[in-house]
Amino acid sequence: MWVEALLAKDDLDKAMSDLCPLRIRLEKEGNILISDPRDLVLIAGVGLRMSVTVDLHWPILGIQVPVSVRSATLEVRPQILKKQEGEDLTFKLHIDDVDLSMLPEFVDRGVVDLVNAELDAKHVELAWSFTKTLSHVFALPDVLASAGAIDLRAAWGSVKITDEALVLAVSFRATVAPRAVGPRLAMEPREAEPRAECKAALRRWRRLPKQLAWAGGATLLAGLGASAFALARRRPRTLLRWWREL
């Protein structure tokens, strides 16, 4: 399975305008500022090419204050970088056609080579780990009893530059993970009570307050009778005892 992303020239032009001014740190407290991108063109098989303004400050070369070069060419070269954990889409920056007349007299062409070597070392920082970003495990709903998830993995990619667009093609692999423990699809069967027994139970429930009332009354009467009987038996003993005392 393939998915292609196409960035037309207008999209790339806007992206570069949003990205700039772009400041990149160099070694030994140096830095380069790339700004004012203009006249962008696409070079088939190479990348993006445009005119830019470059401000360079690099004490290691004796440039203590920033030097501005308003006439320079910047190339952005997209490449696929293969790593152990996946693939990255990287963008290498390369400066050319620098107006050396704007640089100090003691700085020769070698400074451009040194700057490009530094920019080439920084290309890893301008990278997109697309195989990691585009890979995802999609959990499936519980109504699917046999399948638990779809694992969609971006395996590898390819980038191509034409004179009209930048094209990134990504290859995907999709696998279905089974559900380890399926959901309960139905309630466990239970014996239904017969209709007659249900009605009888309902009638017994409705009669329960009356039965309780009758039971309570009977208990009360039984208690009173027992008390009266006890008193009746106790009185003769009391009279006999009184007669004897006489």
Angle 48-126-69 from CA coordinates, rounded to 5°: 60
CA distance 46 to 36: 21
* Of 81, 98, 99, 82, the residue nearest 90 (C-alpha): 81
CA distance 182 to 185: 8
pTM, two decimal places = 0.65
pLDDT tens across the length of the chain (246 residues):
899 999 999 999 999 999 999 999 888 788 999 999 999 999 999 999 999 999 988 887 677 777 888 889 999 999 999 988 899 999 999 998 887 676 666 565 677 888 898 888 887 788 999 999 999 999 999 888 899 999 999 999 999 999 999 999 999 999 999 987 644 444 444 444 445 554 554 455 455 455 544 455 455 445 545 554 454 455 444 444 544 454
- Tokens describing residue 73: 């060419």
Three-state secondary structure readout of 3-42: EEEEEEHHHHHHHHHHHCCEEEEECCCEEEEEEEEEEEEE
Which residue's structure tokens are 């700004």?
35
